[in-house]
Chains A and B, each alone.
Chain A
Amino acid sequence: MNDLETRLREVLNEEGARAPSPLDPRGVIKRTRRRQAIVAASAVLAVVAATGLAFAGLRAVVPPATPAAPSKERTVNGVTMKVPAGWHLVDPVEAGLQPAGDTLPRLIGVLSVAEPSSVLPCPGRTAIGRNGFVLTLSEEPLAIDGAAARPWPVDLESMQANGSDSACYPEWEFLHAGWTTSGRTFEARVGIGPDVTEEDRVLLLDAFASMEFRQGQERASIVLATGTAAGEDWELIATRDADGLVLGLEWPSGGSGLGGLHDRKQPLYLTSHVFGSGHDARVVVFGAVDPSVVRVELFPALGGPAESAEVIDVPDRIDPQLNAFVGVAVADLPVRLEAYDAAGTTVAQETVGEDPEVQSS
């Protein structure tokens, strides 16, 4: 180890020793539980008591029974469903499953044979056990691309989930579907216990198919594109805020954004995120371009194949001036980008992965 490395380690260790103590755990735990509750409920797969919803409110659950009476229409958050008698369709806010608000994605309805707030997040430990089910319905940012943009009606599809060892979902089967209708995008997830009767299963699928949707408000947030890089799914989301267009790349464990684009004059703004590592690493480059740009090409540093980025029209209600682009390339950084107009003229060049965050000293 050379002298600089030794000194560097000493300095870093001194810095680390000066770090403040962490924040009080109570606030952190509250935030974490809130996030877990939303994730758990919307996935129908919550398995932890630590969500805060766990056993505190657990109470006697009405034993499941095949409804004999006809279905009744019930509406929650602009979605109307024919609910068999004895079943429960609840608004998650009213049921205390999530805080009020209108940020998407958002759980907007839960259907179960027992009152959902007493069942989630661990139905396997309640009276419904193996012969119950839970359907969750969430509203997502408006999709204009990808599987979630499919028009209604859609069929529920099987989810790869192994609940055989789960005490909360013992041997449950999971189904899901995503679709867009009435200017809104939804995702439904269904967990079905192994002992649910065939009759209940049919009623459940009928209830799902009976849904009708009220026209959504014009949302200032939409999914522009979806994809997979190095095995990880991502979504490119466009939002309008006070400073204009904000582009966000979201993936299951995090996100990256580009904002402050109000009144921008350059033809190209971008940022990037690298997924994976080693030979499988891929860089997703995304950003905003002015309307003159019709094509963006990515050129990896080590001479890998050039990749074309997709130029996407951003709806005028979100930004009338700018469009977006997103491209995926082998993560041989730096990656050079060239933007072209309709005549094939290069109107902008940028590079990512080459000390893009140089700071002022």
Chain B
Amino acid sequence: MGAMVTERTHAEPKGLEDLYLRHASSAVRLAFVITGDGDLARDIAQDAFVRVAGRFRHLRFPDAFDAYVRRTVANLCTSHFRRARLEREYLEREGARGEPSLEGPDASDGDELRQALRRLPIRQRTAIVLRYYEDLSEEGVADAMRCSVPAARSLISRGMHTLRMIVKGDT
């Protein structure tokens, strides 16, 4: 709590908007690469910003704001797909036909690697995006996904193995 009373040095009255403009694009890009859905990505990026800035994280840890947003985006993406899975299971049990799509509207351009990426479990996909798109180390991926380094390494490794198998099988 002590850190919460630290006087702000970064955010001036216009600071919140500047902060948003500075971080929103990268947050949307990250969410989009993970989810493949533009609207969802924008919503997730917005939620992540509100959650992080709403708790004054930008004041407490100004240098780590990027990392907080990244971590929150990854968490929100995972939560979204977990909810979607629950909804899908419910619909399946009820015999409904309207299975919610977990693939975004932008995901159908025929590229087999892109499609293979979409078919990965969400945590593997998130780990791979953080590793190869955000260029995070395995420790960075573990931190962003709030898991152990061996777990992050395992997610990346299993994801890459699956991608390799799918791409090899398709080509």
Alpha-carbon distance between A118 and B54 when the two chains are bound, in angstroms: 21
Chain A proximity of B59: nearest CB distance (Å): 6
**B67-87 to A contact mask, C-beta < 8 Å, 1/0:** 010011001101101110111
Question: Which label, helix, strand, loop or mixed, suits the secondary structure of the B interface?
Answer: helix
Quick check: B56 and A16 within 8 Å, CB to CB?
A: no
Question: Do the beta carbons of B16 and A165 come within 8 Å of each other?
Answer: no
Residues in B115-142 with C-beta less than 8 Å from chain A: 117-124, 128-129, 132-133, 139, 142
- A20-B38, A278-B149 known; A165 and B45 CB under 8 Å? no
A32 to B106, CA, bound (A): 29
Cβ-defined partner of B151 (8 Å) among A4, A54, A271, A331 = A331
A67 within 8 A of B: no
Q: How far, in angstroms, from A284 to B85 measured CA to CA in the complex?
A: 20
Q: Which chain B residues (149-170) contact chain A, with CB distance < 8 Å?
A: 149-151, 154, 158, 160, 163-164, 167
Mask for A245-281, Cβ within 8 A of B = 1, else 0? 0000000111111111000000000010111111101
Question: In the bound complex, do residue A47 and residue B42 qualify as a contact, i.e. CB atoms below 8 Å apart?
Answer: no
CB pair A47–B132 under 8 Å, yes or no, is no
- Contact assessment for A278 and B148 in the assembled complex, using a CB-CB cutoff below 8 Å: yes
Knowing A12-B133, A19-B29, A333-B147, the reply to whether A32 touches B50 (Cβ < 8 A) is: yes
Is A36 part of the contact surface with B, judged by Cβ < 8 Å? Answer: yes
Q: How many residues of B contact A (CB 8 A)?
A: 92
Q: Is A48 an interface residue (CB 8 A)?
A: yes
Candidate in A16, A40, A160, A161 with the most chain B CB atoms within 10 angstroms: A16
A163 at the binding interface (Cβ < 8 Å): yes
Residues in B whose Cβ lies below 8 Å from that of A43: 1, 4
Q: Is the CB of B59 within 8 A of A25?
A: no
In the assembled complex, the Cα of A29 lies from the Cα of B49 at a distance in Å of 9
Q: How many A-B residue pairs have CB under 8 A?
A: 237
B88: shortest Cβ distance to chain A, in Å? 7
Of A93-101, A217-225, A353-361, the one touching chain B: A353-361
Tell me if A285 is interfacial: C-beta within 8 Å of chain B.
Answer: no
Contact A162 B147 (CB under 8 A): no
Given contacts A12-B132, A278-B142, contact A18 B83 (CB under 8 A): no
Whole-angstrom distance between the alpha carbons of A259 and B124 in the complex? 23
Residues of chain A with a CB closer than 8 A to B132's CB: 5, 8-9, 12
Provide the residues of chain B in CB contact with A361, threshold 8 Å: 118-119
Which residues on A sit within 8 Å (CB–CB) of B57?
A: 253
Which one, B39, B55, B72, B139, contacts A39 given CB within 8 A?
A: B55
A168 touches B46 (CB 8 A): no
B41 touches A279 (CB 8 A): no
A53 at the A/B interface (Cβ < 8 Å)? no
Write the nearest CB–CB distance from A136 to chain B, whole angstroms. Answer: 14
* B113 engages A166 (CB within 8 Å): no
A8 to B29: give the CA distance in the assembly, Å: 16
Decide: A8 near B49, CB < 8 A? Known: A357-B82, A359-B122.
Answer: no
Instruction: Please measure, in the bound complex, the distance between the C-alpha atom of A167 and the C-alpha atom of B5, giving whole angstroms.
Output: 9
A189 to chain B, nearest CB (A): 9
- The reply to whether B53 and A32 contact each other, CB–CB distance below 8 Å, is yes
- A7, A9, A13, A31, most chain B CB atoms within 10 A: A31
Q: A16-B33, A31-B46, A32-B54 are in contact. Are A254 and B75 (CB under 8 A)?
A: yes
A19 touching B123, Cβ below 8 Å: no
User: Which 8 pairs of residues, A with B, have the shortest CB-CB distance?
Assistant: A35-B54, A22-B24, A19-B32, A12-B133, A162-B2, A281-B148, A357-B122, A19-B29
Q: List 14 contacting pairs A-B, 8 Å CB cutoff, sorted by A.
A: A13-B133, A15-B114, A20-B38, A23-B45, A25-B17, A28-B50, A39-B56, A43-B4, A45-B4, A278-B149, A331-B148, A353-B147, A355-B124, A361-B119
* A interface residues with partner B (beta carbon < 8 Å): 4-5, 7-9, 11-13, 15-16, 18-23, 25, 27-29, 31-33, 35-36, 39-40, 43, 45, 47-50, 54-55, 159-163, 165-169, 172, 174, 252-260, 271, 273-279, 281, 331-333, 353, 355-361
